[in-house]
């Protein structure tokens, strides 16, 4: 007979039929009631065991964590909280689980403990909900781009160029670390390395995506990116996934419109398709908030917060306006910011971004036209020659979630900029070629996927929204 999923059984209208289901025991109560979960939904199906006619040795093996195969009849449930249940007629233990040793006991575990047991943490409601939402969001992202005429492009993971110019790259090398070949100057001779030159893991697929935008028109990438920055925060990973659309003939205003429409669309998708998981995470957050001081509690529930983003316009504010607001803000005047804002040109820290979003505007904010010298080399210089056509999207509770820009399409300006920053033209000859042959206005942005999943699930630490987080000093699993 067909094995049904728990999700199928729970939504089935017809009862008194024979069914089969496989899953893992969450709890076994009173030698009678198995709460069974198979990952298809956050909800368990109750399977009722006829314990009087079941071998005692078998009953002992029905323990939390065990994998079981249950045959029986789907009936209307007598109990509260569920419409149907399975009257089990046969139970087969597929895999035992030692109840003393199994780490995931049916009680509340700390997120830290579960991070150490990341291979088992999706057997909890919290992590199964988060990872189903992660999957659903990535589907929604592909769906959005597909429906809007974008091509999915796979940019290389190993690259010779530093797209962000920040020098935070992991080297890819097969040279003998103990005894590398040296050149005449005594430096490591990378011409003898596997790729014949210094190579790294990519920090962004943008530069390659630009080449495809300038022929296919609208493209996007969705892949892993790697940054060797030593920031141990709740919002940084060394390996994270990024979505990067890139569009020919689109300016910065178009870029903002695209980003806003895109974010709203993917969040609407989960509001419609992941109701059970969101309801669970919402309750989780409400419970968590009870143990926090009033000032740190969430003002909106999780679904209210998602709805709010979907239903309201993002506030568009120039960097210059933002600096004025920050300079005159209470925390700046009372010296509450760690980094005080004194003058135009200051780089914004996460405390400033969060002030703007959470205290001042109280909605998602798009900051644009940043000072040229705090942004990457490829951004389009404005007529004022001081600012560039950059944009960052800031979200409540997250801070920067998107970074993007209109790209410098003028060959001479780009060359000057690269020279000023000591970026050799030989390294990016192909990037410069785009400005020689049919150059045009074009723009794009990068969305940090894990930051989006944090926002969508209400999880407070980025390590809890990716299956196996990579952070400084940590690459377990
Ligand atoms: O602002 P970033 O560095 O922009 C770029 O990489 C551009 N090349 C994107 C483009 O225009 N195509 O990174 C984009 C986003 C950030 O806004 C943030 O959400 C996320 O990537 N991000 C990180 N997420 C997790 N861990 C890190 N270490 C991250 N660094 C950036
Ligand atoms: Mg950025």
DSSP letters of 295-364?
GGS-SS-HHHHHHHHHHSPPEEEEHHHHHHHHHTSHHHHTT-SSS---STTPPPPHHHHHIIIIIII-S-
Judged against a pLDDT cut of 90, whether residue 80 lies above it is answered with no
d(CA 354, CA 363) in angstroms, rounded, equals: 11
Same domain, 87 and 128: no
Confidence of residue 296 (pLDDT cuts 50, 70, 90): confident
Residue 387 tokens read as 């600012």
pLDDT at 167: 75
Judged against a pLDDT cut of 90, whether residue 327 lies above it is answered with yes
Judged against a pLDDT cut of 90, whether residue 79 lies above it is answered with no
DSSP state of 379: B
**Exposed/middle/buried for 364, CB within 10 Å: 0-12, 13-18, 19+?**
buried
Residue with tokens 């009173």: 30
d(CA 47, CA 44) in angstroms, rounded, equals: 9
Residue 214 Cβ contacting ligand 1 at under 6 Å? no
DSSP state of 109: -
Helix ranges, 388-445 (H): 411-420, 429-433
Judged against a pLDDT cut of 80, whether residue 258 lies above it is answered with yes
Q: 101 and 64 in contact (C-beta within 8 Å)?
A: no
- pLDDT, tens digit (0-9, with 9 covering 90-100), for 85-95: 999 999 999 99
Judged against a pLDDT cut of 90, whether residue 164 lies above it is answered with no
- pLDDT, tens digit (0-9, with 9 covering 90-100), for 8-57: 999 998 889 999 999 999 999 999 999 999 999 999 999 999 988 899 99
Average pLDDT over residues 284-313: 93
Least confident range of 150-159, 268-277, 287-296, 367-376 = 287-296
pLDDT at 234: 95
Residue 370 Cβ contacting ligand 1 at under 6 Å? no
Average pLDDT over residues 73-88: 91
Mapped onto helix, strand or coil, the DSSP state of residue 402 is strand
Which neighbouring-strand residues pair with 11? none
In a domain, 196, yes or no: no
In a domain, 177, yes or no: no
Nearest CA to ligand 1 atom 24: 448
In a domain, 471, yes or no: no
In a domain, 192, yes or no: no
Judged against a pLDDT cut of 80, whether residue 165 lies above it is answered with no
Confidence of residue 475 (pLDDT cuts 50, 70, 90): very high
Same domain, 249 and 359: yes
Q: 476 and 128 in contact (C-beta within 8 Å)?
A: no
Q: 261 and 239 in contact (C-beta within 8 Å)?
A: no
For the CA of 209, the closest atom of ligand 1 is 12
Same domain, 238 and 156: yes
Residue 445 Cβ contacting ligand 1 at under 6 Å? yes
Which neighbouring-strand residues pair with 152? 220
**DSSP symbols for 110-175:** -HHHHHHTTTTGGGSHHHHHHHHHHHHHHHHHHHHHHHTTPEE----SEES--TTSS----B---S
Ligand 1 centroid distance, CA of 223 (Å): 12
231 or 378: whose pLDDT is higher? Answer: 378
pLDDT over 90, % of the chain: 93
CATH number for the domain harbouring residue 257: 3.30.930.10
Q: 352 and 345 in contact (C-beta within 8 Å)?
A: no
Same domain, 153 and 223: yes
Domain boundary among 49, 72, 102: 102
Question: Distances from the Cα of 296 to the Cαs of 111, 289, 291, 302, 358, in angstroms?
Answer: 19, 8, 10, 15, 12
Ligand nearest to the CA of 235: 1
Ligand 2 centroid distance, CA of 409 (Å): 20
Same domain, 134 and 87: no
d(CA 187, CA 181) in angstroms, rounded, equals: 8
Work out the angle between the directed axes of helices 252-273 and 275-290 (0-180°, nearest 10): 90
Range of the domain at 441: 123-168+203-464
Same domain, 267 and 235: yes
Confidence of residue 161 (pLDDT cuts 50, 70, 90): confident
d(CA 74, CA 318) in angstroms, rounded, equals: 60
Average pLDDT over residues 324-331: 96
As for how many domains the chain has, the answer is 2
pLDDT at 162: 77
Pocket residue to mutate for ligand 1, from 239, 446, 472, most atoms within 8 A of Cβ: 446
Q: 209 and 246 in contact (C-beta within 8 Å)?
A: yes
Same domain, 256 and 304: yes
Q: 457 and 98 in contact (C-beta within 8 Å)?
A: no
Judged against a pLDDT cut of 90, whether residue 181 lies above it is answered with yes
Same domain, 143 and 74: no
Among the listed residues 168, 177, 134, the one whose alpha carbon sits nearest the alpha carbon of residue 277? 134
d(CA 460, CA 289) in angstroms, rounded, equals: 12
In a domain, 193, yes or no: no
CATH number for the domain harbouring residue 88: 2.40.50.140
Average pLDDT over residues 433-440: 98
- pLDDT, tens digit (0-9, with 9 covering 90-100), for 89-133: 999 999 999 999 999 998 999 999 999 999 999 999 999 999 999
pLDDT at 96: 98
Question: Distances from the Cα of 403 to the Cαs of 239, 255, 465, in angstroms?
Answer: 17, 11, 20
Q: 240 and 450 in contact (C-beta within 8 Å)?
A: yes
d(CA 220, CA 207) in angstroms, rounded, equals: 12
Neighbours of 237 (CB within 10 A): 23
pLDDT at 401: 97
Same domain, 64 and 151: no
Residue 129 tokens read as 């909900």
Residue 204 Cβ contacting ligand 1 at under 6 Å? yes
Average pLDDT over residues 224-242: 95
Same domain, 241 and 307: yes
Residue 213 Cβ contacting ligand 1 at under 6 Å? no
d(CA 401, CA 394) in angstroms, rounded, equals: 6
In a domain, 448, yes or no: yes
Contacts with 431 (C-beta within 8 Å, 6 or more apart), sequence order: 161, 207, 210, 211
Among the listed residues 465, 445, 452, 458, the one whose alpha carbon sits nearest the alpha carbon of residue 252? 445
For the CA of 246, the closest atom of ligand 1 is 12
Same domain, 21 and 55: yes
In a domain, 434, yes or no: yes
In a domain, 430, yes or no: yes
DSSP state of 373: G
pLDDT at 226: 97
Same domain, 253 and 372: yes
Mapped onto helix, strand or coil, the DSSP state of residue 284 is helix
- Residue 473: left (phi > 0), alpha (psi -120 to 50), or beta? left
pLDDT at 221: 98
Ligand 2 centroid distance, CA of 448 (Å): 9
């Amino acid at each position: 007979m067909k094995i049904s999923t728990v999700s199928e059984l729970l939504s089935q209208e017809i009862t008194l039929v024979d069914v089969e289901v496989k899953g893992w025991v969450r709890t076994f109560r009173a030698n009678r009631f198995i709460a069974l979960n198979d990952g298809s939904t956050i909800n368990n199906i109750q399977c009722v065991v006829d314990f009087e006619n079941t071998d005692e040795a078998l009953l002992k093996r029905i323990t939390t964590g065990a994998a079981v195969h249950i045959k029986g009849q789907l009936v209307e449930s007598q109990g509260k909280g569920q419409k149907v249940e399975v009257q089990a007629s046969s139970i087969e233990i597929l895999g035992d689980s030692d109840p003393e040793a199994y780490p995931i006991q049916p009680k509340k575990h700390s997120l830290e403990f579960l991070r150490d047991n990341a291979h088992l943490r999706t057997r909890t409601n919290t992590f199964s909900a988060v990872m189903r939402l992660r999957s659903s969001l990535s589907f929604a992202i592909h769906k959005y781009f597909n429906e809007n005429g974008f091509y999915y492009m796979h940019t290389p993971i190993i690259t010779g160029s530093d797209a962000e110019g920040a020098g935070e790259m992991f080297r890819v090398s097969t040279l003998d670390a103990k005894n590398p070949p040296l050149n005449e100057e005594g430096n490591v001779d990378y011409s003898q390395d596997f790729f014949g030159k210094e190579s790294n893991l990519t920090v962004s697929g943008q530069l390659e995506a630009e080449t495809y935008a300038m022929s296919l028109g609208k493209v996007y990438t969705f892949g892993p990116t790697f940054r060797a920055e030593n920031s141990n925060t709740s919002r940084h990973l060394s390996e994270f996934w990024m979505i990067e659309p890139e569009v020919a003939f689109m300016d910065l205003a178009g870029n903002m419109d695209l980003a806003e429409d895109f974010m709203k669309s993917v969040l609407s998708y989960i509001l419609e398709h992941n109701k059970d998981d969101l309801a669970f995470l919402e309750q989780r957050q409400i419970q968590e908030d009870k143990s926090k001081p009033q000032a740190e509690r969430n003002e909106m529930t999780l679904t209210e917060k998602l709805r709010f983003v979907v239903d309201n316009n993002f506030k568009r504010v120039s960097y210059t306006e933002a600096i004025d607001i920050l300079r005159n803000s209470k925390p700046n005047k009372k010296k509450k910011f760690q980094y005080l804002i004194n003058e135009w040109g200051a780089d914004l820290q996460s405390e400033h971004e969060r002030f703007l979003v959470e205290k001042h505007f109280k909605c998602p904010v798009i900051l644009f036209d940043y000072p040229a010298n705090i942004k990457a080399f490829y951004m389009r210089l404005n007529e004022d020659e001081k600012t560039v056509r950059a944009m960052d999207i800031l979200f409540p509770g997250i801070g920067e979630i998107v970074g993007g820009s209109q790209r410098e399409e003028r060959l001479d300006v780009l060359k000057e900029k690269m020279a000023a920053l000591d970026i050799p033209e030989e390294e990016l000859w192909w990037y410069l070629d785009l400005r020689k042959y049919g150059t045009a206005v074009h723009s794009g942005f990068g969305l940090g996927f894990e930051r989006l999943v944090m926002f969508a699930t209400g999880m407070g630490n980025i390590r809890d929204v990716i299956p196996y987080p990579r952070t400084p000093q940590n690459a377990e699993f």
